[in-house]
Amino acid sequence: MPIRTVETSPFSDQRPGTSGLRKKVKVFQTLNYLENFVQSIFDSLEGFAGQTLIIGGDGRYYNREALQIIIRIAAANGFGRIVTGRGGLLSTPAVSCLIRKRHAFGGIVLSASHNAAGPEKDFGIKYNIGNGGPAPEQLTNAIYQRSAQIDRYLTIDHAAVDLDHIGAYRVGSLEIEIVDPVTDYADLMETLFDFARIKDLFAGGQFSMCFDAMSAVTGPYAREILEHRLGAPAGTVIRGVPLPDFGGGHPDPNLIHARDLVVMMNGTAPPNFAAASDGDGDRNMVLGPNFYINPGDSLAVLAANAHLVPGYAAGLSGVARSMPTSGAVDRVAERLAISCYETPTGWKFFGNLLDAGKITLCGEESFGTGSNHVREKDGLWAVLFWLNLLAAKRQPAEQIVRQHWEEFGRNFFTRHDYEGLDAAKAEAMLDRLRNELAGLPGQRMGAEIVKTADDFSYTDPVDGSVSTKQGVRIVFESGARIVYRLSGTGTEGATLRVYMERYEPDSSAHGQSSQTALAKLIANANEIAGITAHTGRSRPDVVT
């Protein structure tokens, strides 16, 4: 089949963020926009001729069209095989699972994760390397540099591939394999968790659960694993059919966007446990009746109890968290006498640590938790880990967390998001703050005195690469801290994330809410950065 060379011109806005390139659907539909970026990926790689490429997405609007374009470009560039899920569906952790199981050269994930979907909403694309994890900064920088210079892409003329039937097809010399999107991932989960024990938890009829798939990709995975393999009653999984617009909802599993689930769990007769996952299946929120489990606490509890889970019973080599994430897991690592690493935000920073065997568990405050089983955060995996703990301990989730606080103390933590800000004004606010950092130590702010103030920089302990400007940190003599950073996951304007944290060893004070415990720190955060003055916002859009 003849290869066709198409002349094109570069776009100036194709720099990948922390999770790939995310834009509005209409931007990706611009003539040659997606084609340019895909060709820029392939132009930045070496040695893939005849190799396997995994491609899949969360089923959002434009997923199918994008996949067909990528197939044609991959065929023209010399890949030997493409593996994708039926309907083009693959959760992000399932893509990582397949890359590793098939020893693939790499993979392409089509998703904008927790962002809204639909013709007027968001789309995204990112490249994952052969370990199954997101491309490192060196590669994403190369892709961006190539996108700024690209003048042609390669493609072939071929009818659309039938994505809806399992089987093998050919596009020129390229073989296309359509697989069940769930089976390999579900089989992996059975090797990690005690399915017999979890099944027994459901079998008694005394334990109930609700899993909200938010009309996104995790629905089929959750139904197969929870309802079919583990025997949870039909209907345990709600909103389990992936829809191109996610049912008009915002597929972000937090207290705001998973509001219906939160209301249910704070109602008069809630189930014993609840969870939600996001658009592409890599995030999670877990809840007990009238009890929200902070992602930082969740990571710490999983680490402290990993010996109860078959896949981790041999012990943890180490743990890692992103810098803004609660330091709760640090205290567990100290007790276990294992290393704890603090990385920038972005799952790719965990990849080297996992590959080098330095860590087993890792997590971010943005509802992401994972382990060395894949190289992406994994929402359903985290939920199964919690179910394994509930089955082993036979205690409610709240009791498990409160006992953890009794033993390790509580890290009160909150994140305030200011969304849709003018990007220039948000950058100017942080630049002003950076310029003032040197003068902050020693200053008194209410009852707190600033101990240190810096802009977080990270040197990778494996390859020595350096990442700078990863978040402004204000640390007080009490150990409390405030972190400011701009998110790289949005498609419009800028999102300012402000993180506040304070450690409380006194168990008699653990019962208060995070917002109450951190009220003075929240006021300090606004004053230090001048958030209201610079943005005009008197309150955040999302509080978690």
Indicate the pairing of strand 21-24 with strand 122-128: antiparallel
Annotation says 111 is catalytic: no
Asked if 67 and 54 touch (Cβ cutoff 8 Å), the reply is no
Q: Which residues pair with 362 in a beta bridge?
A: 320, 370
Q: What are phi and psi of 275, to 5 degrees?
A: -155, 160
SS3 308: helix
- Read off the DSSP letter of residue 225: I
For 407, the token pair is 């033993």
* Angle separating helix axes 397-408 and 295-304, nearest 10 degrees: 80
CA–CA distance, 434 with 325 (Å, rounded to integer): 21
CA–CA distance, 138 with 304 (Å, rounded to integer): 34
SS3 305: coil
Which residues fall within 8 angstroms of residue 490, CB to CB, at 6 or more apart? 22, 115, 419
Which residues fall within 8 angstroms of residue 206, CB to CB, at 6 or more apart? none
Distances (CA, A) of 156 to 72, 147, 365: 6, 20, 43
Name the active-site residue from 19, 40, 44, 113: 113
Distances (CA, A) of 321 to 315, 360, 435: 18, 11, 27
Closest by CA position to 480, among listed 432, 508, 518? 518
Q: How far is CA 146 from the centre of its chain?
A: 26
Task: Quickly list H helices, 311-461.
Answer: 328-336, 348-355, 379-393, 397-408, 423-436
Q: Which residues pair with 172 in a beta bridge?
A: none
For 257, the token pair is 């966007």
SS3 5: strand
Extract long-range pairs of 41-49: CB within 8 Å, 24+ residues apart: 41/108, 41/127, 41/143, 42/73, 42/74, 42/77, 43/146, 43/150, 44/139, 44/142, 44/143, 44/146, 45/105, 45/106, 47/105, 48/77, 48/78, 48/79, 48/105, 48/106, 49/78, 49/79, 49/80
C-alpha count within 13 angstroms, C-beta hemisphere, residue 163:
24
- Both ends of the chain: CA-CA distance in Å? 53
Asked if 485 and 468 touch (Cβ cutoff 8 Å), the reply is no
Positions marked active-site: 113
